[in-house]
Structure 1
Amino acid sequence: MNLEQLFIQNKENLINGRYLTLDSISPLLERNNIKKDVKVIGESVLGAPIYSYQVGTGKTKIFLWSQMHGNESTTTKALFDFINLLNSETDLAKQLLGAFTFYCIPMLNPDGAKLYTRANANDVDLNRDSQNLTQPESKVLRATFEEFKPHYCFNLHDQRTIFGVSDTGKPATISFLAPSYNEEREVNASRLQAINLIAGINDILQQYLPGQVGRFDDSFNINCIGDTFQYLGVPTLLFEAGHFQDDYLREETRKFTFMALVSSFMILSENDVVSNGIDKYLNIPQNKVVFYDFIYKNVKINYDGIEIITNFAAQYREELIEGQICFNAYIIEVGDLENYFGHYEYDAKEAFYKDDATNLPKINQKANFYLNDNLRFVNGLLKK
């Protein structure tokens, strides 16, 4: 099966970029081919509807939810691409709908999505509210879990550009985790099911994304929803959609997330799950914080009359301005930056640094500066 071609055929072109709100997805949920299977299952803090979509007649029940964190939209895009596949009336769609019953919550946190924040409108991280259930969105998710009684859970998230695949110098474009169910991080039957499935997904993704799949940290926190569902005995997979080279809008990452979803259900429907995949799973390199968006090397500065060669790093802040996500680069670190990589790296070759206010890069100032007067950098990038 050509997963790249399958993605092209099913990509939902009405949604793209990073800023995905309820207004973005509502027209998709109103389409005639899925409208009958869409329900409102609750409301957010600010009264926005939380939608579900259920389809399929298979005995294996799959529960998927996305945008628990409002500013993590990549998996929502991939989920709608996958929904398009399920409605394509192809042999593959019929196979999946006959094998599974899918229950999707495409946007659990519509208030956070509109505000482009991780937390909900009460400034609560829903992924730390799985025990206290203080928020309406958390209650909706838990009630659905208890009523639907899934056989597998798919917890769909984004991760920041700072994560790499161990020390390889490659970004962690997509990472997985079979969450722990106890403090000792032991492997019981349900966690092993998640581990084996992730091992199989990774085998497939390596054909398309070699060396750019990571394994997320499995420290146990019962307040996290994935850990809670794993603790309750349901195999749970965490997806973390990360950075692909030059893909800040996460359209390439969207493709690989779609591929991972399709692979998951092909493996399960064909009973092609690896047996005892613990070693394969543990051989997936762990995520590591090793990246900045920009690194500038061998920059000459004048510090108290002394010329020094140093390095500095800048990072994008994703800022919602007049309904648009703006990527604004700010200097966040100055020093040797040993063992760190940049998604964009520039060797200044001992050129002098200066900006409009000073001759020193300072933390939290915008990455607008000159090197040797003639090289101008605007928002982190060399102006041609």
Structure 2
Amino acid sequence: MDYEKIFSQNKQDKIKGRYITLEHIEPLLQKLNTNNQLQLIGKSVLEQPIYSYQIGNGKTKILLWSQMHGNESTTTKALIDFLNFLNSKSETANQLLEFFTFYSIPMLNPDGAKLYTRENANKVDLNRDSQNLTQPESNILRKIYEEFKPDFCYNLHDQRTIFGVSDTGKPATVSFLSPSYNEERAINEDRIKAINIIVRMNEVLQQYIPGQVGRFDDSFNINCIGDTFQSLGTPTILFEAGHFQGDYEREETRKFIFFALLSGFIAIYENVIVDNEIIDYINIPQNNPNFFDFVYRNVRINYDSSEIITNFAAQYKEELIDNKIFFNAFVVKIGDLEDNFGHFEYDAKEQMYSDSNKNIPNLNQKADFYLGKNVEIVNGLVKL
């Protein structure tokens, strides 16, 4: 199957980048609302509408939700692309619509999306509210879950650029998890169903991003929605959209999430899921928080009246200014970086560090400095 071609045919070009709000997706959902598929299912803390989009009439029921965390928008873009595909009237789309019923909530946390925050307007992490259900958004999702009674749950998230695939030096562009349902992290029939789908999706993704698929930590936390739904007997898959080389807007990662969604559903439809693929799942390397956005090695600095050679790292801080996301780099670690990698790495070759302040890197300072007389670093990058 030509996943690249299918994606390019169904990509929604009117949304891109990291800042995706209800204002961006609402008109797109309205355009797809050709047969009352779009429904208002509740409102957020700030009284913003929360929509569902249901399509298909098959027996196998899929519940998907995105932007539970407002600043995690990559899977929202991919989900809109996938809804475009389901409306494409292609042979494959029609087959899936006959086999599945898809119930999606493209933006569970519109307030957090507008503010570009992980939490909702009450500063509550909705992914830690699955038991107490203190927030309107949490209650909406739980109500839909109980009424729809899905056969599978798809919990769609982003993860930070700090995650790599084990110690390979490759970024974790896409990561998956079949969440635990108890403290022992036991594997039962429901976890196995999710595991088998993850294995199929990983097989496809390895053709496009070899070595860049990770497995998320499965520590049990009943307050997390995936763990809760898994414990209630519904096979649940966590998606984490991560970093692809140079892709801070996550337009490439968006594509790979689309590939994963489509390939997983095709595998279920074609019944190519093998009963027990735990070993293949365990062999997906685990995520490792061993990346920084910038790593500078072999930098000469003056320290206590002596010259030493050291390393330091900088990380982007994402800041919302006038409805645009700006990536501002700050120094976050100085010293031993032997077990760390940088999405951008620079070997100073023992050139002298200098800046406009103390001529020594300090934590939390802006990553603007010089290496030697000719190399200027501005916001983390070499100024050309």
TM range (shorter): over 0.9
Give a deviation string over 1:321-372, Cα, whole Å, max 9, x none. 1110000000000002111000000000001101111110000000000111
Counterpart Cα distance in 1 of 2:303 and 2:365: 18
Q: Distance between the aligned counterparts of 1:57 and 1:347, measured in 2?
A: 57
Q: How does 1:280-319 map to 2 (within 5 A)?
A: 280-319=280-319
State the partner residue of 2:77.
77
Match of 1:375 in 2: 375
After TM superposition, the structure 1 = structure 2 runs for residues 5-154 of structure 1, keeping only pairs within 5 Å, are 5-31=5-31, 33-34=33-34, 36-154=36-154
- Residue 374 of structure 1: CA displacement? 2.0
Residue 179 in structure 1 maps to residue 179 in structure 2: yes
- Secondary structure, in 3 states, of the residue corresponding to 2:155? strand
Q: Provide the residue aligned with 1:218 in structure 2.
A: 218
Residue of structure 2 in register with 1:257 after alignment = 257
What is the identity percentage for the equivalent residue pairs of Structure 1 and Structure 2? 68
The offset of 1:275, in angstroms, is 2.1
CA contact 1:197–1:274 (8 Å) conserved in 2: no
The letter of the residue matching 2:367 is A
Q: Is the contact made by 1:199 and 1:274 (CA closer than 8 Å) also made in structure 2?
A: no
d(CA) in 2 for partners of 1:157, 1:283: 22
> Counterpart of 1:278?
278
Contact 1:39–1:52, Cα closer than 8 Å, also in 2: yes
1:339 to 2:339 alignment: yes
Q: Which segments of 5 or more consecutive residues in structure 2 lack a partner in the other structure?
A: none
Residues 235-281 of structure 1: per-residue CA shift (max 9 Å, x gap): 00000000000000000000000000001100011111122100000
Give the aligned residue type for 1:267. A
Q: Distance in 2 between matches of 1:164 and 1:373?
A: 34
Contact 1:33 1:87 in 2 (8 A): no
- RMSD of the TM alignment (CA)? 0.8
Distance 1:123 1:371, change over 3 A: same
Structure 1 letter corresponding to 2:173:
T
Q: 2:267 aligns to what?
A: 267
Distance in 1 separating the partners of 2:9 and 2:68: 27
Give the partner amino acid of 2:353. Y
CA distance in 2 between partners of 1:206 and 1:374 (Å): 41
String of CA shifts for 1:66-89, please: whole Å, max 9, x gaps.
Answer: 000000000000000000000001
Aligned CA distance change for structure 1 residues 33 and 22 (closer, same or farther; 3 Å): closer
Give yes or no for contact 1:200–1:274 (8 Å, CA) kept in 2: no
Alignment of 1:189-208 (within 5 A): 189-208=189-208
Given residue 254 of structure 2, which amino acid in structure 1 is its aligned partner? Answer: R
Distance 1:335 1:100, change over 3 A: same
What's the TM-score once normalised by structure 2's chain length?
Answer: 0.99
User: 1:34 and 1:71, CA in 2 relative to 1: closer, same or farther beyond 3 A?
Assistant: farther
TM-score (norm 1): 0.99
8 Å CA contact 1:29–1:35 kept in 2: the answer is no
Return the letter of the residue paired with 1:349. Answer: K
What whole-Å deviation, never above 9, does each CA across 1:292-315 have from its counterpart, x for those lacking one? 000000000001110000000000
Moved more, 43-52 or 267-276: 267-276
Change in Cα spacing, 1:34 to 1:158, as seen in structure 2 (3 Å) is farther
- How far 1:33 moved relative to its partner? 4.7
Distance 2:207 2:120 in 1: 37
Q: Deviations over 1:45-100 (max 9, x none)?
A: 00000000000000000000000000000000000000000000110110010000
- In 2, the alpha carbon distance for the partners of 1:196 and 1:382 equals 44
Secondary structure of 2:268's counterpart equals helix
Give the whole-Å Cα distance in 2 for the aligned partners of 1:324 and 1:234. 38
Q: Name the stretch that deviates more: 71-80 or 273-282.
A: 273-282
Residue 45 of structure 1 aligns to which amino acid in structure 2? V
Aligned-partner residue type, residue 155 of structure 1: N
Q: Which runs of 5+ in 1 are unaligned?
A: none
Q: Determine the C-alpha separation between the residues in 1 that align with 2:350 and 2:157.
A: 41
Instruction: Supply the distance in 1 between the matched residues of 2:17 and 2:247 (Cα, whole angstroms).
Output: 10
In 2, Cα distance between the equivalents of 1:362 and 1:23?
Answer: 40
- Residue 375 of structure 1 and its aligned partner are, at CA, apart by 1.1
What residue identity is the alignment partner of 1:250?
A: R
What do residues 196-215 of structure 1 show as CA deviations (whole Å, max 9, x unaligned)?
A: 11111111111111100000
